[in-house]
Amino acid sequence: MIDFILRHNLWVAELGDRVDGFMGWFRLDDASFAVVKANTLMEAISDKIKLNLLNGKYCYIAIATVAPWASRGTYRRLKKAVFSLNSDAVLVCGHTYQSGVERFWHRRIRQ
């Protein structure tokens, strides 16, 4: 998944002396968005469900990580960069996880 994100330039990073944070996304069409929202991205990949990850109107944040040493607000700045780079997206959304356990589904209208 990360290799695909990097190859297609679907990512932003915040750099200090080292990498402070990283965020990668997919652009989902209506059908792929419905599958990912209902099943989570990892379940869809595990079930080998075919997804359109490049050409949709929905921006799905697939991976986001912020280092413990990063300055306060790093996640927020990364998210704003994703919004900026996907200004044509009708929705920016994703699943939020902590320690590998899904906490909640979130969606945000482009800001």
pLDDT tens column, 57-70 = 999 888 889 999 99
**Residue 70, helix vs strand vs coil:** coil
Half-sphere exposure of 25 (CA within 13 A, CB side): 26
Half-sphere exposure of 66 (CA within 13 A, CB side): 14
Sheet holding 91-98, edge to edge: 11-15, 19-28, 58-66, 91-98, 101-108
Q: Which of 99, 73, 89 is nearest to 25 (CA)?
A: 89
Q: Where are the domains of the chain?
A: 2-108
**Residue 2, helix vs strand vs coil:** helix
The tokens for 28 are: 């989902």
pLDDT tens column, 61-100 = 888 899 999 999 998 999 899 989 999 988 888 776 666 6
Whether the model pTM is above 0.85: no
The tokens for 46 are: 């595990």
Out of 25-29, 44-48, 106-110, the most confident range is 25-29
